[in-house]
Structure 1
C-alpha cells in the first residue's frame, strides 16, 4: 500500500463514487458521548456540496447533532468494491419547498402522512473531508497486481489496481 494518499478537492469524484450506494451509516455522538450509528438513505448531493437526508424531527439523531454537529457517513458497496467515509457537520431544518423537491413515494414507509407531514425535517451534512476507495473487482485487475508484484518483487501499490483519495474542502 502507498504511504501517501492523493488529495483532491473534487467533490464530484466523491459523489460519482457514492451515487449508487443508496444507504449510508450515519454516526453521531449520543448523550453519553458514545458513537451511535444508523442507516440513512442518501437523497442527492446539493449544489453547495452537502448531502441531504429526510428524518423525523423527534429522532435521536436530531437531538444528537444539535448537541454535537460532528458526524461521519460511511458508504459501502461490496458488489462493486467501492467504499467511502465522509466527515462533516450536520444541521437540521424544515423547508417545505425543499421537502417537496426531495420527496418520493418510498418515503411513505417512514412518513405515512406524505410529504406534508409536519414531523419531516431535513438533515444536512456539510462535508469537511472524505476518503474513498474503489477497487476493481475483476479477475484481470487482481491478476495484474499479483503479476506486477511477483515480477518486481515489490508489493502492489494502491494505484496499481485501486483508486484511493482524500477529498478536502
Structure 2
C-alpha cells in the first residue's frame, strides 16, 4: 500500500467514526455545526438540514464552494475539507441516511416538507492524523524524559 492509499484509507475510516463538524460556505466566515454522513466510495459527505436555514437558502441558485471542519482527539483526526456543497432531492439517499437523530429535528418525520438534503462533493482535505488521546499523553511524557519534541502524527493533503 502506498502512502497515498494509506492516507486515503486513514482519512475515510476515521471520518466515518466522527458524527459532526462545522460546515459553511467559503464566501462566508460563518460555520455551523452539522452532522455528516461519509460516503468514501463516491468522495461525498451528506447532510440533512431544513430548507429554511441560511445555508440551504444560499444554495438555491446552485452549488457553492464550501468547507467542513472536523476534529476528534479520540478518533485521532483533525481535518479541513473543501469541496462543492449543493442541494439534493435524492429521496433514495434520504431514505438510506434517515435515522433517529435526523427524525428528532423534523416534526413530521421523513415526510416533513422542510427537509433538505445537502450533497458535499469533496475536492481537497488537509488532514492531521494523530494516535489519539492516549498517544498524546504518552508523547508529551516521553518528550519530558528525552527532551525531544513529541511525535503528534501525520499531516497530509488529499485531492479527490
Common topology (TM > 0.5): yes
Task: Indicate conservation of the 8 Å contact 1:28/1:65, yes or no.
Answer: no
Report the 3-state secondary structure (helix = DSSP H, G, I; strand = E; otherwise coil) of the residue aligned with 1:110. Answer: coil
Paired position in structure 1 for 2:23: 26
Q: Superposition RMSD on alpha carbons, in Å?
A: 2.5
Query: Partners of 1:80 and 1:89 in 2: how far apart?
Result: 25
Query: Partners of 1:82 and 1:97 in 2: how far apart?
Result: 30
The size of the alignment, in residue pairs, is 153
Paired position in structure 1 for 2:156: 165
* Structure with the larger RCO, 1 or 2 (CA within 8 Å, 6+ apart): 1
Paired position in structure 1 for 2:124: 129
Query: Partners of 1:14 and 1:34 in 2: how far apart?
Result: 26
State the shift of 1:132 in Å.
Answer: 1.4
Paired position in structure 1 for 2:53: 59
Task: Indicate conservation of the 8 Å contact 1:50/1:126, yes or no.
Answer: yes
Alignment match of 2:12 (pick from 15, 24, 29): 15
Query: Partners of 2:13 and 2:37 in 1: how far apart?
Result: 14
1:121–1:108 distance in 2 versus 1, CA, 3 Å: same
Query: Partners of 1:144 and 1:65 in 2: how far apart?
Result: 49
Structure 1 stretches lacking a partner, 5+ long: 1-6
Task: Indicate conservation of the 8 Å contact 1:94/1:120, yes or no.
Answer: no
TM-score (norm 2): 0.80
Query: Partners of 2:126 and 2:88 in 1: how far apart?
Result: 27
